[in-house]
């Protein structure tokens, strides 16, 4: 993993309530970088790749062409945030956030900041 990707994952883990973070290639479903834990991030990357593909296909079918920023999955005690990286088509950031400790709006803001610094 490149130093830039390691720094990006470390930055994601500084977000209040962050439990895990990953950078994923949704063309292959592979996890390019990861931090944190509590789950199998390789499996999460592959599963969330299917979520992204399904949403992009649905948007195409509906004729929605403005682009996808992020997808939020809300669990009882966690937020799972998937943020596409427009400067690197085919990549997304994945963040697992403890619902009780995290601030979703702030997490979205910080992820957008992290995405701008990613170089692959």
Instruction: Give the rounded distance of the alpha carbon of 22 from its chain centre.
Output: 6
pLDDT at 110: 95
* Total residue count of the chain as it appears in this document: 120
Q: Taking Cα atoms as reference points, which of 54, 111, 120 lies closest to residue 84?
A: 111
Beta-carbon-side half-sphere exposure of residue 32 (alpha carbons within 13 Å): 22
pLDDT, tens digit, for every residue of 19-77? 999 999 999 999 999 999 889 999 999 999 999 999 999 999 999 988 899 999 999 99
The CA distance from 80 to 71, in Å, is 8
- Please report the domains of the chain, with CATH numbers, ordered by start residue: 3-117 (3.30.450.30)
| Exposure string over 35-49, b if 16+ CB within 10 A, otherwise e | bbeeeebeebbbebb
The single residue listed with the structure tokens 């619902």 is 99
pLDDT, tens digit, for every residue of 87-105? 898 999 999 999 999 999 9
**Could you give phi then psi for residue 26, rounded to 5 degrees?**
-85, 0
Q: Which residue has the higher pLDDT, 2 or 43?
A: 43
* Measured CA distances, 25 to 85, 89, 98, 100 (Å): 10, 9, 24, 29
pTM of the model: 0.93
């Amino acid at each position: 993993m490149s130093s830039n990707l390691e720094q990006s994952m470390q930055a994601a883990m500084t977000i209040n309530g962050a439990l895990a973070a990953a950078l994923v290639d949704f063309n292959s479903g592979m996890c390019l970088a990861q931090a944190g834990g509590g789950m199998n991030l390789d499996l999460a990357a592959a599963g969330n790749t299917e979520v992204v593909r399904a949403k992009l296909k649905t948007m195409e079918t509906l004729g929605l062409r403005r682009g996808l920023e992020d997808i939020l999955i809300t669990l009882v005690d966690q937020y799972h945030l998937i943020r596409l990286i427009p400067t690197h088509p085919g990549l997304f950031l994945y963040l697992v956030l403890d619902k009780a400790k995290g601030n979703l709006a702030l997490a979205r803001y910080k992820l957008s900041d992290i995405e701008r610094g990613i170089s692959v």
